[in-house]
Amino acid sequence: MTNSDQAISLLIIDDNPGSLELLSSALAQPGLEILVTSDPMDGIDLFCRRHPQIVLTDLVMPNLSGMDVLERVQEIDPSTDVILMTAHSSTETAVEAIHKGATDYLNKPIPLPALRKRVGQLVEEARQRQRSTHLEDELRTHSDFEGIVGRSPLMLEMFSRIRRVAPHYRAVLVTGGTGTGKDLAARALHRLSPVSTGRYVVLNCSAVVGTLFESELFGHVKGSFTGAAYDKPGLFEHAHEGTLFLDEIGDMPLSTQAKLLRVLQNQEVQRVGALTARKVDVRVVAATNHNLRTLVAEKRFREDLFYRLSMVEIELPPLTDRKEDLTLLQLHFIARFAAQYKKQIRGLTRQAQIRISRHSWPGNVRELENVIGHAAMMTMRDTIDVQDLPAYLRARSKHSPHTAAPLPVSPDAGTLKENEHKLLVRALERAGGNQSKAARSLRIGRDALRYKLKKHNLDAAVSSRGVAAGG
């Protein structure tokens, strides 16, 4: 094992104590922790507490069958490898087991060398996943360019272009679809420019009333129009010796575009109602998700201003063109939201990763950020699964045989604390007050459930109703 490896855990569930002893002795190896139980219900509780990577379970057992164990384990963590063992094998049962997510289906008596080899393969695969996660974490720490995450060729080329442009530009155009991170690119240009210690001023052109545009950008003098009760400097003066970011510049009125062009050419502004101009030293970053060439052809954007801005253009690729960055972005947002919500979240299940990888992401990185933020808020475990994703992604899970139906609490309303309280109450109601069942439905351990009940002052309510505290 390398220093980055953690111990791999194997849970063996078999109602025959002799089989437990034989299997645990035969499968023992360095770096493998073996957990055993003869009660499948206790096995589920043990799985919730310890999160083993591999489960080896008998098929025919009292109270809970191996097939039931498989389904529960898959509901809790679909990334777990489950091997079913049985002396009563049939083709139909084997097909059902594999369909429900079993990694293997073995007939008793099982030759111990073959079992050792199969478990050894799964242990090595689990270690490889650990190493891959470790490498991804290392890569994430080295894939942040001025707050922008990416390692795909398109992003590396964009980073290089920003580095080359930042020291020299006076005006630059940043283009890309909604949610691609144009604001982050603008901030990167400012931070790498010679005026990085100056102000970074932002104006969203789509949010300004047309009649107030000139006053906002260039300022006004007292009495220049109704309501102008005092002299007011505009954003160009405020951004003197700094950077002005004009977001959604395609929404700027044509009359204001003409005056903006003069400011870019002469580096001076004239307040509304003033007789003289004032010198300014401002770098301008303009951004748009529109095709300005189309707007120019439609006479909705000045051609001379377009050519002035587009002399230097930086285009941000859509997320669908850089799917190689999906994993990095997921890790980045998980780390951020886990810290924000004060949760321990180690990643996504394979089912959730598959669902995310198949989505087209029309909202680009911002949509992914919202999805991970939603999922991080909703999950009550240390991994994000399909049922934690927003409804429009989660709805497709009905085609997956391994995904449990989510508890019907609206994920879009209320705070994290309110949503967690609702989930706890609903889980207890559906479990008839049985805390072990409620913990299993929430995919958390019984101790974790009790802690959350206490945190939300639900433990007293549970005790007063006299509901069961255990399984």
Q: Where are the domains of the chain?
A: 8-141, 153-316, 321-406, 412-471
CB 14 within 8 A of CB 31: no
User: CB-hemisphere CA count at 13 Å for 66?
Assistant: 31
The domain covering 153-316 belongs, at the CATH homologous superfamily level, to P-loop containing nucleotide triphosphate hydrolases (3.40.50.300)
Residue 108 has a pLDDT of: 85
The architecture in CATH of the region 321-406 reads Orthogonal Bundle (1.10)
Per CATH, 8-141 and 153-316 having the same topology is answered: yes
% of the chain exceeding 90 in pLDDT: 58
Say whether pTM exceeds 0.85.
no
Spell out the residues 6+ positions from residue 318 whose beta carbon is closer than 8 angstroms to its own.
Answer: 176, 177, 180, 361, 364
The architecture in CATH of the region 8-141 reads 3-Layer(aba) Sandwich (3.40)
CATH number for 412-471: choose from 3.30.70, 1.10.10, 2.40.30, 1.10.3470.
1.10.10
Instruction: Round the average pLDDT of the chain to a whole number and report it.
Output: 86
Q: Please, which contacts does 411-420 make with residues 24 or more away whose CB atoms are closer than 8 Å?
A: 411/374, 411/377, 411/378, 412/374, 416/341, 416/377, 417/456, 419/377, 419/378, 420/380, 420/452, 420/456
Summarised one tens digit per residue, pLDDT across range 347-404 is 898 889 889 999 999 999 999 999 999 999 999 888 898 989 999 998 754 444 333 3
Summarised one tens digit per residue, pLDDT across range 289-338 is 999 999 999 999 999 999 999 999 999 999 999 999 999 999 999 999 99
Residue 436 has a pLDDT of: 76
